[in-house]
Amino acid sequence: MIRLDKYLADMGVGTRQEVKKQIRQGRVCVNDNVVKSADLKINEELDLVSVDGNVITYTTMEYYILNKPGGVVSATEDAHDQTVVDLITDKKRKDLFPVGRLDKDTEGLLLITNDGALAHRLLSPKKHVDKIYYARVRGKVTEEDVESFRKGVNIGTAECEEWTRSGTLQILNSADVSEIRLTISEGKYHQVKRMFQAVQKEVLYLKREAMGPLYLDPDLQPGEYRSLTKEEIENVTKWNVK
C-alpha cells in the first residue's frame, strides 16, 4: 500500500505538492471515483488510478538498455549538457539513473534503471564484472600489447603506480589505425584510454558492447533505447557476479 500522492509523484505526474493540488482539484480518480484525499492508501496491483482520464500504472522498477551516443553525459542531470536519462523519453519513474559511467565521447551500452541493489552488485569494486569494448586506436596494436594487457599495465605514474587487472585484448585489425576488442573487469577512471596510453597509443573511438550478461542490441542506433526483455531482466538480476 502506498499514499496516493506518492504513487503519482513516483510515476512522474508531478512533485508531491503539484499532485496534491491536482487531487484537490478533483482531477484524480481511484477505481473511477473522484478522490480528494492525498493520503489515501493505494494498492499498486489492484487499484485503478487515473489523472484527467489517463490511467497511471504504477511501476516499481524500470530497466532500459541505451546505446549511448557521443556528446551526452552519464548523469541524471546536468546544467550544460544533455544527459543519458534525458534520452529516456517514455520513462514512468523519476528516479532513474545510469549504472556506471561512460565518458562523454564514448558510445555504447549503458543500463538505465532505478534498481539500486542491482547497480551496487554491478559496480562494487569488490566485484569483477566483465566489460567488453570495441575501439579504434592510433598505432599498430601488436601481440606484445596483447601480452602486456594480459599481465596488467601501469596506468599511473612512475611516482604513483596504478596497475590494472588482467585484460583480454583481441586484435581485429593492426594498422596505422588499429581495431581491437578489449575485455576488462574493472572500471577505473578513463581506464581503456589510459591502458592504451601506457603502450604509447591513442584511443580514437570507443564503444562499450557488453557489461556482465547484457549485450548491446545491434538494432539500436546511437541515442536509441528499449526496455529490457523479461529474460534480460531475469539474467541480470539473478546473475552471479564472480
119/182 same-domain check:
no
Q: In tens digits, what is the pLDDT along the chain, a chain of 242 residues?
A: 999 999 999 888 989 999 999 999 999 999 999 999 999 999 998 999 999 999 999 989 999 999 999 999 999 999 999 999 999 999 988 899 999 999 999 999 999 999 999 999 898 877 889 999 999 999 999 999 999 999 999 999 878 999 999 999 999 999 999 999 999 999 899 999 999 999 999 999 999 999 999 999 999 999 999 999 999 999 898 876 55
Q: Rounded to 5 degrees, what are φ and ψ at 126?
A: -75, -20
CA distances from 67 to 70, 103, 114, 121, 187 (A): 10, 13, 18, 21, 18
Q: For residue 218, tell me if it sits in a domain.
A: yes
Q: For residue 36, tell me if it sits in a domain.
A: yes
Q: For residue 242, tell me if it sits in a domain.
A: no
Say if strands 49-51 and 97-98 run parallel, antiparallel, or are unpaired: unpaired
Rg (CA), the chain: 22
99/217 same-domain check:
yes
Predicted TM-score (pTM) of this structure: 0.85
Residue 94: give its domain's CATH number.
Answer: 3.30.70.580
159/191 same-domain check:
yes
Q: For residue 77, tell me if it sits in a domain.
A: yes
118/176 same-domain check:
no
Instruction: Please say whether the beta carbons of 205 and 136 come within 8 A.
Output: yes
Residue 103 bears catalytic tag: yes
141/182 same-domain check:
yes
26/81 same-domain check:
no
Number of domains in the chain: 3
7/122 same-domain check:
no
Cα separation, 121 vs 103, in Å, equals 21
Residue 51: give its domain's CATH number.
Answer: 3.10.290.10
> Counting beta carbons within 10 angstroms of the beta carbon of residue 238, is it exposed (0 to 12), middle (13 to 18) or buried (19 or more)?
exposed
Q: Which domain holds residue 42?
A: 2-55
The amino acid at 122? L
Q: Rounded to 5 degrees, what are φ and ψ at 210?
A: -155, 155
Q: For residue 85, tell me if it sits in a domain.
A: yes
Cα separation, 61 vs 63, in Å, equals 7
137/205 same-domain check:
yes
138/167 same-domain check:
yes
Q: For residue 30, tell me if it sits in a domain.
A: yes
156/176 same-domain check:
yes
Q: Of residues 47, 78, 86, 103, which has the active-site annotation?
A: 103
> Positive or negative, the Cα torsion across 170, 172, 177, 181?
negative
Q: For residue 8, tell me if it sits in a domain.
A: yes
Cell of 145: 600489447
Cα separation, 105 vs 207, in Å, equals 9
pLDDT value of residue 241: 54
228/117 same-domain check:
yes
Please list, residue by residue across 93-109, b when 16 or more beta carbons sit within 10 angstroms of its beta carbon and e when fewer do.
beebbbbbbbbeebbbb
Residue 185: give its domain's CATH number.
Answer: 3.30.70.1560
180/145 same-domain check:
yes
Q: For residue 189, tell me if it sits in a domain.
A: yes
